[in-house]
A and B are shown apart, each in its own frame.
Chain A
Amino acid sequence: MTTKYEYHSGFMEEALEQAELSLNNNEVPVGCVFVHNGKVIARGMNDTNKSLCGTRHAEFLGIEHILKTHTADIFEEVDLYVTVEPCIMCASALRQLKIKCVYYGCANDRFGGCGSVMSIHSDKGVDPTYKAYPGFYREEAIMLLRRFYCQENENAPTEKKENKKQRELKTAFQPFDFTKYVHSEEEFVEVYGEEYLHLYQESLKEKLKETGKGEKKRKTKK
C-alpha cells in the first residue's frame, strides 16, 4: 500500500520531469501537473524566456490547457503539484480558480505566495482559501534551480561571471522548517502520513533550539 507521502510524491515526480524539460529549454526549471480524480489532466513548464513574457509561469500553461476542454469550475476538484512554491501572482490565480489543494517541492523565498513572502492562499480576500503543502521532493526541486543558475553563469560573458566559489554546484541543504507552513501535528499527519511525523517533529525541535539560543545569548550577556 502506498503511503500518503508516496502518493503525492508520485505526482511530484511528473512535475519534476516538466521542470527538467524547462531546464533543457533554458528556462528557470519549474514544472507542474494538475490532477483530477487521481489522473494528470494537464502539465506545465515555465516559458518566460521563450515567450518574452514574465507571466508565463508553469501554472498558467497548465491552466490554459485545461480550459481548452473544460469549464473553469473543474478546478474545485483539481489538485496542483508544482516543484516550486507558486509565486504571488500564481497563488492569486489559483485562489480565483478555487483550486482544491496545492502541493509543492521547495519554498520560493523571493516571490512565494503560499507562505514564504505572502500568504495569498489563506489571507483575507473574496475567494475561498486553499491549503498549500511544501516538502515533496524539495531537494530535487532546489537542485534543478541550482543547475540552472550555474548554467546561466557558464553562458554569461567572462566579465559577468561570478567567482569560482559561487559557480560551484552546491549539494548541501538547509533543514526545512515545516512549522512555518503546516500549523499542527494533526494536519501534518493528515497530509504526509504518520510515518513522516518525525520530519515535523525535527522542525519543531529545531525551532525550539533557535529560541533556546536566544535565551542563552541573553544569559551569557549578563
Chain B
Amino acid sequence: MSEFVHKLKSNPRNNVIDDSFWQIKYQDDHRGLELIPLLTTTIPANKSGVVVKLIKDHVDEDAHDLGHLRRIAKEADLIKEGQVEGETADSTEKKPASEVFLRVIIASKDTEVDFETIKAGITAILSYEPPFHTDYASKYLPFTKQESVEWSRNAWPIMWRGNTAAIQTKLSDSELSEMKQKLNEVIALSKANSGTKELPVATLIVDPKTGEVLSRKLDTRHKQGNPLNHCTMEAIAEIASQELARRQERGTSKQEREREGKQETIDGEEDDRLYLCLEMHVYTTHEPCPMCAMALNHSRVGRLVYVESSPGSGGIEPNSGGSHGIHWNPQLNWKYEVWKWVGDDLGVEKVDESVNA
C-alpha cells in the first residue's frame, strides 16, 4: 500500500495550463490517498433498508465527510485480487435478495457514537449477529476519475460524480502571453534589489481591462524601517492614494460633500470605495505571506500570479506555512484566482525560508 500511496503523491500537478501556469485552488487539491478506518457489516440485501435506517438514526454526524463514498457495496465488488471481474456480479443477480449479501458502512471509527448499541440493533433486526469488519476508505474526494477508479480498487468504493475543484479556469493564448510578459516585468523590477540588503521581491497591480500597470513596487522594508512594508501592501496603498488624489482633485471626496450637507450620490463608484483593487490582477515574484494574501482579499483583487513558492511563510499553497489557502477559503466572503509559474526558470532570486514575502 505504501508504494501505491507514494506513487499517487508524486503524480504531476493537476490544473497546469500550457506547462507553465498551475492554478492553486482548494487546499485538498493535491492530497493523495489518505485512509480512514470504517466500521462495516455484511447483511442480506433484503434487510438493507431497515439496517440503513437504524444506522442513520444513531449516527447524527460522522467524524469525517463520507459524501464521496458508496454507503453500500456488493460483497463481490470488495473481493478484488485474483478474481475475474463480472463473474460474481453475474451470479449474484440470479439469486433471491435474501441470499445476496451487501457490505454497509456503519460509521468511520473516529465517530463518537455508541457502536455497541448499533451492533445490537442490527443483530436484533437480522435475528443473528452479522460479521463486523474494519474497512479502509479514502478520506478525500479524488481529483480525477482515474484517481477515483484507482483508489476504489485499493480501498472502499468511491462514488464518482466529478470534483468541482478540478474544473479548470480557461486562459486564452493572449492571456497566457500577457501573464508571462507581466511576470518578466515584475522579475526585472525585483532585480533592482540584487546585492542590496533589501529583498529581491516586487509587485505589480494591473488593470485587466487595459493591461495598464497601475502600481509598481519594489520591496524596501529595510530602508523604511518597517518590517511590514511588503511591496504588495505598498502597491495596494498606492492604488488607494491615487484614487484619493483623483477624488480630491475633483472635489468630490465624501467628507466634503457631507460638510456641505449634500446628499451622497450613489453612482457605483462610491459603492466600490473600499474595494479599489476590485477584480484587478496582481503579479509578484514570490508567494505572499498571510498578511499580504489577506490584504489582497480585503482589496477584492481578481487574480494573483507569482513565480517562487514560499514554503515556510506563504499564505496560499496547500503545503506552505500553515496551509491557509487564504485566496480560496470557503469561510471568507471573497476569493481570488491564483496562478503559480511552473514553466522554465525565469531567474527569480530565492529568498530565505524564514522571510515573509
Q: Which residues of A contact B (CB under 8 A)?
A: 48-55, 60, 63-64, 67, 71-72, 87-93, 96-97, 110-111, 113, 117-120, 123-127, 155, 157, 214, 217-218, 221-222
A87–B299 Cα distance when bound, in Å, is 14
A17–B254 Cα distance when bound, in Å, is 24
**Does the CB pair B356–A54 fall under 8 Å?**
no
Tell me which residues across on chain B come within 8 A of A120, comparing CB atoms. 290, 322, 324
Looking at the assembled complex, report how far the CB atom of B29 sits from the nearest CB atom of chain A, in whole angstroms.
19
A124–B264 Cα distance when bound, in Å, is 46
A50–B248 Cα distance when bound, in Å, is 12
- Chain B stretch 240-277: residues in CB contact (< 8 A) with chain A: 240-241, 243-244, 247, 254-255, 264, 266, 273-277
> Which residue of A50, A55, A110 has the most chain B CB atoms within 10 A of its CB atom?
A55
**Does the CB pair A63–B294 fall under 8 Å?**
no
Can you name the residue of chain B whose Cβ is closest to the Cβ of A48? B274
Tell me which residues across on chain B come within 8 A of A217, comparing CB atoms. 60
Which of B87-95, B128-136, B190-198, B226-234 touches A? B226-234
Which of B11-19, B101-109, B328-336 touches A? B328-336
**Does the CB pair B227–A92 fall under 8 Å?**
no
Tell me which residues across on chain A come within 8 A of B313, comparing CB atoms. 125-127
**Does the CB pair A53–B321 fall under 8 Å?**
no
Tell me which residues across on chain B come within 8 A of A111, comparing CB atoms. 294, 298, 332
**Does the CB pair B299–A54 fall under 8 Å?**
yes
| Contact A54 to B275, CB < 8 A, known contacts A60-B228, A126-B354 | yes
| Contact A92 to B289, CB < 8 A, known contacts A72-B226, A126-B312 | yes
Tell me which residues across on chain B come within 8 A of A113, comparing CB atoms. 290, 294
Q: How large is the interface on B (under 10, 10 to 19, 20 to 34, 35 or more residues)?
A: 35 or more
**Does the CB pair B295–A54 fall under 8 Å?**
yes
Count A-B pairs with CB separation below 8 Å.
Answer: 127
A123–B315 Cα distance when bound, in Å, is 11
Looking at the assembled complex, report how far the CB atom of B34 sits from the nearest CB atom of chain A, in whole angstroms.
18
Partner of A55, one of B227, B233, B290, B315: B233
Tell me which residues across on chain A come within 8 A of B333, comparing CB atoms. 110
Cβ of B202 within 8 Å of any chain A Cβ, yes or no, is: no
A87–B324 Cα distance when bound, in Å, is 14
Partner of B240, one of A53, A88, A127, A155: A53
Looking at the assembled complex, report how far the CB atom of A40 sits from the nearest CB atom of chain B, in whole angstroms.
20
Tell me which residues across on chain B come within 8 A of A50, comparing CB atoms. 255
Task: List 3 A-B pairs, minimum CB-CB distance, nearest first.
Answer: A123-B322, A53-B240, A89-B294
**Does the CB pair B236–A55 fall under 8 Å?**
yes
Cβ of B326 within 8 Å of any chain A Cβ, yes or no, is: yes
Can you name the residue of chain A whose Cβ is closest to the Cβ of B265? A157
